[in-house]
Amino acid sequence: AADVFTYDPGFTSTASCESEITFIDGDKGELWYRGYPIEQLAAESHYLEVCYLLLYGELPNADELEKFENLVTRHTMVHEQMNNFFRGFRRDAHPMATMVGVVGAMSAFYHDSTDISDPHQREVAAIRLIAKLPTIAAMAYKYSIGQPFVYPQNDLDYASNFLNMCFSVPAEKYEIKPELSRAMDRIFTLHADHEQNASTSTVRLAGSSGANPFACIAAGIACLWGPAHGGANQAALEMLQEIGSVDQIPEYIKRAKDKDDPFRLMGFGHRVYKNFDPRAKVMKESADEVLDLLGIENNETLKVAKELERIALEDDFFIEKKLYPNVDFYSGIILSAMGFPTAMFTPIFALSRTVGWIAQWKEMIADPQNKIGRPRQLYVGSDKRDYVPVDSR
């Protein structure tokens, strides 16, 4: 092999970029959006206000908030021809596959907001994405179950609108339950941003080439789909349902510890958190609230989740490896109780994270020094050699 050569990549820190948007302390289990702790935002704020905060750096005053909410509300419809676009997919396509395709195609429908050198077009693209992602996610769901698309309604708040577009049918209006909409809104807030995770880094990298915002967000959605990342919420619930009852937990703990077994506890562990993911704590409280609100008692899956967490947190293997529940461990229980199939869990993560991707993309565009650009490598392949014709090999 070639002598491994070393080169100075030009930086010493391991940081890939500087950002003012989100702070995570993995050891303490802290998460702040623009300095505000996630626990306070989840309890006191609401998603569109958090969107404003992530995008512009400060909490809006009443007038700014009203203007922003009106702007988003009036961009929730998608181009009517998109309905035909959806009809090109197989009905049984995973909603994430549909979302990657449709969001990527937005630059074909909204080409008047693709020139990233124009600040106004950047702003229009940002609003269109935040406003239309719930509509596209709901359309992906409706299409997959063979029900007609439901148009957004301007008299509904962001979360209620999404629930209505998913669950209303011509034969029967969906009954908006404010507490359920509040729980949905909280889930959006908990997923809104998370520093330089894989999908956000994907969006930044795509954006560093000057690609249009719709293409960059589609790249982020594609990356998020992976089971090690945003796809874990679907995998976590399916794992809890496979475990089925608390007496089956020891078998799965054993498998998680077995180096030769590829099985991992989905919804556990994190690249950064070596303590509780603060979002998981809020999600766990919300799970109790939602199941209670829906009159669901003795939910076996929630029982398994809580017992699995209890056992794991007392087990040396998990303590040594600092493995704690992450944002994906409880979210599926809430979404399933609300009526969503597991295939819709990651699309909901994607629509929630769109504002974080956009905020990080805008920050990168505004500061060329902050571009991830083109990562270098350490070459450890074959030394230089001459071609050998096939009859001499």
Contact positions vs ligand SDX (CB under 6 A): 194, 197, 228-230, 232, 256, 264-272, 321, 323, 326-328
Angle between helix 345-366 and helix 119-144 axes, rounded to 10 deg: 170
> Closest CB to ligand SDX among 124 and 364?
364
Residue 120 known to be catalytic: no
Task: Please state the closest distance from residue 353 (CB atom) to ligand SDX, in A.
Answer: 7
> Closest CB to ligand SDX among 94 and 229?
229
Nearest to 334 by CA among 232, 186, 229, 227: 186
Catalytic residue among 328, 367, 386, 391: 328
Task: Please state the closest distance from residue 297 (CB atom) to ligand SDX, in A.
Answer: 28
Task: Please state the closest distance from residue 262 (CB atom) to ligand SDX, in A.
Answer: 10
> Closest CB to ligand SDX among 53 and 203?
203
Catalytic residue among 63, 270, 316, 391: 270
Alpha-carbon gap, residue 65 to 86, rounded angstroms:
33
Residue of this chain nearest to ligand SDX (CB atom): 269
Task: Please state the closest distance from residue 363 (CB atom) to ligand SDX, in A.
Answer: 16
Task: Please state the closest distance from residue 349 (CB atom) to ligand SDX, in A.
Answer: 8
> Closest CB to ligand SDX among 79 and 255?
255
> Closest CB to ligand SDX among 131 and 323?
323
Which two tokens mark 101? 């395709």
Residue 270 known to be catalytic: yes
Residues that are catalytic: 270, 328
